[in-house]
């Protein structure tokens, strides 16, 4: 058994939380000037990705709980970024759609997110990043 493990800081949940904390902090600092939160950016990217999404699917992909998404979307509607439409097939479902303002703003925001990603990529080599991505994917 590999040594270590005396220190609780070796727990995967700890290093993961630490990395997540630091990365979301710098990303959300950068998004602050757009007046938007990381989750809202994720919602917009999800919507832009093509298929029509219901609130439920969106909650899964944007990594937020349904009640939180509901409230987030309220604000985004108010800001004119998205709009709700009752789904044709199943009237309980809501399809969320990006407005053209939403798409425009998303593209601007994406520039900043990509820039932030460059910073991040500088900390690790290409292959580590790939390994990291794959390892993390297995944990989700």
Partner DNA sequence: TGAAACTAGTTTCCAAGTCAAATAAATTGA
Partner DNA sequence: TCAATTTATTTGACTTGGAAACTAGTTTCA
54 makes contact, choosing from DNA, its own copies, none, with CB < 5 to 8 Å by partner type, with DNA
**Is residue 91 near DNA by the rule CB under 7 A?**
yes
**Is residue 67 near DNA by the rule CB under 7 A?**
yes
* Cα–Cα dist 92/57, whole Å: 14
Count of residues for the chain? 140
DSSP 8-class letter at 140: -
3 makes contact, choosing from DNA, its own copies, none, with CB < 5 to 8 Å by partner type, with none
56 makes contact, choosing from its own copies, DNA, none, with CB < 5 to 8 Å by partner type, with DNA
Per-residue binding string, its own copies, 77-106, x by CB under 8 A, is ------------------------------
The residue range among 4-12, 54-62, 111-119, 125-133 that interacts with DNA, by the rule CB under 7 A, is 54-62
Contact between 49 and 62 under an 8 Å Cβ cutoff? The reply is no
φ/ψ (deg, to 5) at 130: -65, -45
12 makes contact, choosing from DNA, its own copies, none, with CB < 5 to 8 Å by partner type, with its own copies
Q: What's CA 64's distance to the chain center, in Å?
A: 9
Q: Which residues, in sequence order, are bridge partners of residue 85? A: 95
* Cα–Cα dist 123/51, whole Å: 34
Q: Which helix (H) or strand (E) covers residue 97, if one does? A: strand 94-98
| CB of 74 or CB of 130, closer to its own copies | 130
Residues at the contact surface with DNA, assessed by CB under 7 A: 37, 39, 54-57, 59, 64-75, 84, 90-94
């Amino acid at each position: 058994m590999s040594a270590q493990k005396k220190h609780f800081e070796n727990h995967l949940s700890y290093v993961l939380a630490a990395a997540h904390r630091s990365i979301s902090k710098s990303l959300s600092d950068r998004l602050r000037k757009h007046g938007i939160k990381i989750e809202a950016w994720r919602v917009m990217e999800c919507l832009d990705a093509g298929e029509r999404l219901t609130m439920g699917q969106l909650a899964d992909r944007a990594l937020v709980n349904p009640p939180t998404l509901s409230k987030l979307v309220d604000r985004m509607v108010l800001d004119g970024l998205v709009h709700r439409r009752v789904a044709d097939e199943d009237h309980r479902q809501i399809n969320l759609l990006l407005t053209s303002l939403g798409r425009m703003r998303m593209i601007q925001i994406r520039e900043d997110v990509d820039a932030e990603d460059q910073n991040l990529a500088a900390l690790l080599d290409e292959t580590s990043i790939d390994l990291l991505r794959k390892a993390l994917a297995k944990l989700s």
